[in-house]
Amino acid sequence: MSTETPTRKPDPEPREDAELGEQDPAETRDQKDPEPRPDPDDLPPFTEQLSQQLGGVKGVVEAAVPITLFVVLNPLLPDQMGPLSGLQWAILLSAASALAIAAWRAIRKEPIRHALNGLFGIALGAFLAWRSTDARDFYLPGIIQGAIYGVLLIVSALVRHPIIGWIYAVVAQGGKKEWRDNKPLVDVLSRVTILWGIVFIVKNALRIWLYYIDAENALGLVTLFGGWPVTIALTAFTIWAVRRHMKTVEAAGAPAL
C-alpha cells in the first residue's frame, strides 16, 4: 500500500464574472449605463424653462385677452347701454374674461398662477376705473408697477446683483450661485438688466404722459403693444446675449458657469 499523500489540486482561480458579481449592483449599473449629467448652461433648456415661466404661447395669449378686450371695447361701446355705461361694460367683460380663463384652467387641472397674476392686476385696475368712471385709471396699477420694476432693475445692476441674473440662475441653473463667480457673465447680465430697466422706465414714462393728457385710447394701445410683445423681445435678447457670452468663453477654452 502506498503511503504517499494524495496531492491536493489547487483551487480554481475565481471567475471574472464572479468578481463582477461581488460588486455593488448599483455600481455595476452605473458603469454599464451611466446617465449623462445635464449641462446647467445648456441654452435650449433655458429657453424651454423660461417659456414655462412665461406660461408658454398659451399663457401669453391668455394674459393678453382681458386687456385687449378693454382696449378694443372701451372706445367702441356707446356711452350708455342700459343700466351701465360703455366703460362699465368694458370693465365687466374684461374682468369676466380673466375670471373665465382662471376657471377654465382650474377645471382642466392646469396651472393657474399666470391667470391669477393677470386677474389680480385686472381686478385692481377695474376697481379704480369703476369707482372714478375714468378709463385711464384702468391702466394706473400697471403704470405704477412697471415704473417700480424699472427702477429696481437698474438699481440691482448697479449694485452687481442684477435681477435678470438671478432669474437666469433660477431658470437655467436650478438656483445655483456659480454665475456670481463669473465676472464677465455678471457684466453681461448687468448690462442686460439695465436695458430691461431703461425700457420699463421709458415705456411707463410715456404711459404717464398719455395719462395726464387724457389720451386714454393711445394709453390703451401703448399698454397693449408695450406689454407682452416688448417682454418677449427683451427675453429673446437676453437669451442671445447669454448664448453669445457662452460661445466666446467656449472659444477661449475657459469653463462657462
| 34 in any annotated domain | no
Examine residue 2 and state whether it is found in any structural domain, yes or no: no
Q: Is 187 a member of any domain? A: yes
Is residue 8 domain-resident? no
pLDDT in 10s for each residue of the chain, 257 residues: 445 555 555 555 555 444 444 445 445 444 444 444 444 444 445 555 555 555 555 666 777 788 888 888 888 888 787 788 888 899 899 888 888 888 887 888 776 666 666 677 788 888 999 998 888 999 998 899 899 999 999 999 999 889 988 887 777 666 677 778 888 888 899 999 999 999 999 999 999 999 999 998 899 899 988 888 888 899 889 888 888 887 776 666 555 55
Instruction: Evaluate whether residue 242 is within a structural domain.
Output: yes
Asked whether residue 184 is assigned to any structural domain, the reply reads yes
Give the integer Cα–Cα distance in Å for 222 and 235. Answer: 19
Domain assignment present for 199: yes
Q: Which domain, by its residues, includes 132? A: 43-252
- Buried b / exposed e over 89-119, threshold 16 CB at 10 Å, is bbbebbbebbeebbeebeeeeeebebbeebb
State how far the Cα of 73 lies from the Cα of 65, in Å rounded to an integer: 12
Q: What is the pTM of this model?
A: 0.69
Q: How many domains does the chain have?
A: 1
Judge whether 185 lies within some domain: yes
